Amino acid sequence: MARVKIDRRTFLATSAAAAASAAATQPARAVYGDAPIAGTVTLAVVAPFTGDQIRLGEQMGNGVRAAIDDANRLRGTLDKSYVMRTFDDQNLLATGLVNAEFACDDSSVVAVIGHLSGRITDAALHTYVNEKMPVICPASTYDPLTSHGYGNLLRLTTKDSTEGRLAAKHVLAGTTPPKTISVLFQDGDYGIDVASGFVQQVTDDKAKAVPVTISWEKPDWDAAVKAALDPKPDAIFLAGIAKDLGPVVPKLREAGYAGTFFGSQGFFDATLLKTYPTQVEGLVISTSMPPLALAPGAFRIKNDFEQKYGAMTPLSAFSYAAAQIVIAVVRRTNANDRLGVARALNFSSTFDTVVGSLNFGNDGDPLNPNVYFYAVTDGKWKYLSSANPTSFIVK
């Protein structure tokens, strides 16, 4: 039976890692209190609330819901109240386009938080632009999202090609920098942009990168292992999803590779540690997700969230941050509608969020993109460092 190709250009891998020990999330329903004098503002969450990806959609919804609950709990009499409305796109392109229109048709909605899929978000952007709807993207690292020059989109995570470059700098900054690195990726939806950024940075730094493309539909692992090991690499970088590209790891070990594995955030997956416990020991990965346990500014938010929903996954954390940004804009400018929020987002501002301080360029990407590095140590993920210095983390 042919494998069904799923859009993987989305910030999912770290969700799997953090969600492995999480309790089942509750449905994403907003809390409606007494209507304040200043009025009520609606945030839309467009995500899969039914279907195969419902668990991920609920993580997004619960992140936004928690941020709204926190804002409402602390509001004064003259402050606006916030509510959430969900739109179920089932993580399907056609449904996503229809629900983008539904969200825009609701005049009370001042901003959309979503979608889960980068391709669906990208396809829906034209609808949002036409309706002057601000879009805060908490999930996708898909490069093209911010390539259109639209002024209505903010992306919170570090895009794939930038992650690849930052990861390459980290690999080459080791005590014994590798001279030759094999870079493995598949021809599916996720991995090629990370690999491209990684290869470009390695080349710029005068080291040798050997790209190895593997079929996603029908992977030939033996051929991939040969292509990766023939150059006698000092390190191997895996740009992909652990579930799909992970099987190459034991095969590389069996073929005699004893060096260090490095990987993109698609390998930040708890199931990887259970499936290949010895083979991935020492693996170092990069991800947009900071270690919230080491972030004093996130301590209360993280604890409150976990009492209600279980572990704060990356999808929940970045969705919480997306809601924080919209709420901050409304508070700063007293914006009453989507046009007011959109105008305010076009001005350079710094937003203090649960995932750190963020400000954005004209393209909608973070001005100072960062990734965080974790290593598999004794069968567990251990935080190492960040690509760029940050006062958000106390180690």
**What tens-digit pLDDT sequence spans the chain (395 residues)?**
444 444 555 654 444 444 443 334 444 444 444 545 668 999 999 999 999 999 999 999 999 999 999 999 988 777 899 999 999 999 999 999 999 999 999 999 999 999 999 999 999 999 999 999 999 999 999 999 999 988 899 999 999 999 999 999 999 998 899 999 999 999 988 999 999 999 999 999 999 999 999 999 999 999 999 999 999 999 999 999 999 999 999 999 999 999 999 999 999 998 999 999 999 999 999 999 999 999 999 999 999 999 999 999 999 999 999 999 999 999 999 998 999 999 998 887 899 999 999 999 999 999 999 999 999 999 999 999 999 999 999 87
Q: pLDDT digit string (tens) for 132-163?
A: 999 999 999 999 999 998 889 999 999 999 99
Which residues, 6+ apart, have CB-to-CB distance to 353 below 8 Å? 156, 320, 321, 324, 325
pLDDT at 149: 87
**Where in the chain are the domains?**
13-158+296-358, 161-287+372-386
pLDDT at 78: 79
Distance (Å, whole) CA 287 – CA 139:
12
pLDDT at 10: 60
**pTM for this structure?**
0.90
Inter-residue contact 224 to 44 (CB < 8 Å): no
Place of tokens 């983390």: 393
Tokens of 392: 């958000």
Inter-residue contact 44 to 138 (CB < 8 Å): no
CATH fold of 13-158+296-358: Rossmann fold (3.40.50)
Kind and range of the H or E element at 333? helix 314-333
Distance (Å, whole) CA 201 – CA 176:
17
pLDDT at 165: 98
pLDDT at 74: 86
pLDDT at 79: 85
pLDDT at 213: 98
Q: Is the peptide bond before 115 cis (omega within 30 degrees of 0)?
A: yes
pLDDT at 33: 45
Of the candidates 149, 74, 137, 142, which has an alpha carbon nearest to the alpha carbon of residue 111? 137
Specify the CATH number for 161-287+372-386; select among 3.30.2010.10, 3.40.190.80, 3.40.50.2300, 3.40.50.970.
Answer: 3.40.50.2300
- Residue 274 — φ and ψ, nearest 5°? -80, -35
For every residue of 355-380, DSSP letters joined together read TEEE-B-TTSSBSS---EEEEEETTE
